[in-house]
Chains A and B, each alone.
Chain A
Amino acid sequence: MEGSYYLTTAYLGMIAGLAIWTWTVVTRSRSIELRLAAVESTIGVEAADADSLAPQSIDRANVDATD
């Protein structure tokens, strides 16, 4: 009976570990996707264009500075 107690304790701990780890990763993934979508919609770019945004922004800033 004592062995079953240890067995249950070990598996419950590992199940909790798996659940917390998976929950953390999935919620982080959803959260960052939502934040990115919100920022991109605010500045009016498509997600596919977002990677090329930084160089364009720098060019625009340079043009503004010369004006």
Chain B
Amino acid sequence: MRGRFAEVLLGAGFFGIMATLYLGFHWAPSVSINAFESPAAQRIFYWHVPSAWAAFIAFGVLFVGSAMWFFKRSAFGWRLHVAGTEAGLACGLMTVWSGCVWGAAEWGTPWDWTDVRLNTFGLLTLLALFLVLGRQSQPDGVETRDTFSTFGLYGFVLVPLTYMATRIWQIRHPGPVVAAGDSGGSLESSMALVLMIGALSFTLFIVGHMLISMRITQLEQRLEQVQNSLDGGI
């Protein structure tokens, strides 16, 4: 039943993501040619921002799961940790990729090593990559889970730092266009609507993905248990 629910979420999210792409190309207005070096490339933003949003949700899930495992030894917490790292890696890579391509079009360079937001988000994605590869290469056990949970707990400090980076240091990455506080958002209403549809769709999509990932981890543990009991019984 839960597997079916996850697949429904995944399908709804996918439909919404494709609708966002269509609306971003055919319905949202073009930006002023005076405001951007590469106005056409600005439409990358309709997937770039929602995938970054989804990555933050995934890193939040990773933090909660890490804490639940580390402090409570919760098997459910470990499944959250695994699902959060996989979703964080996928969404993080999509965000970094689209950001690099947009940077190449707009700034003339895909990366700026002096920009805080770019580098903290890049580190978060590398952390997710380390956790995914590390978990696959190490035998599962309490010590392994403790080590990776510690990285998940301490690594989370990069999330608020990344979120606040463009509010504190305006270096290269554009400032906030929604939820901008006193300065106000600069986004036209139809652009904001497409962006919101994108954010909602990416949220549904990664929640579906994380539910399936948690189920896989549970089944892997059950398979290991059954195989161990079979070996023990023989």
Chain A residues with a Cβ under 8 A of chain B: 2-4, 6-7, 9-11, 13-14, 17-18, 21-22, 25-26, 28-29, 32-33, 35-36, 39-40, 42-43, 45, 50-51, 53-54, 56-58, 60-61
Q: In the complex, which of the residues A7, A14, A18 contacts B43, with contact meaning CB atoms closer than 8 Å?
A: A7
Chain B residues with a Cβ under 8 A of chain A: 3, 10, 14, 17, 21, 38-41, 43-44, 47-48, 51, 86, 90, 93-94, 97-98, 101-102, 104-105, 205, 209, 212-213, 215-216, 219-220, 222-223, 225-230, 232-233
Q: Is the CB of B209 within 8 A of A28?
A: no
Task: State the Cβ distance, A55 to closest chain B Cβ, in Å.
Answer: 9
Chain B contact surface mostly: helix
Complex CA–CA separation, A33 to B51 (angstroms): 29
Q: Is the CB of A6 within 8 A of B101?
A: yes
Chain B residues, CB < 8 A from A21: 90, 209
Q: Is the CB of A14 within 8 A of B222?
A: no
Chain B residues, CB < 8 A from A2: 38, 105
Chain A residues, CB < 8 A from B94: 13-14, 17-18
Task: State the Cβ distance, B172 to closest chain A Cβ, in Å.
Answer: 17
19 more CB-based (< 8 A) A-B contacts, given A10-B41, A18-B17, A51-B222: A2-B105, A3-B40, A4-B40, A6-B40, A6-B104, A10-B98, A11-B44, A13-B101, A17-B94, A21-B90, A21-B209, A22-B209, A25-B213, A26-B212, A53-B225, A57-B230, A58-B232, A61-B232, A61-B233
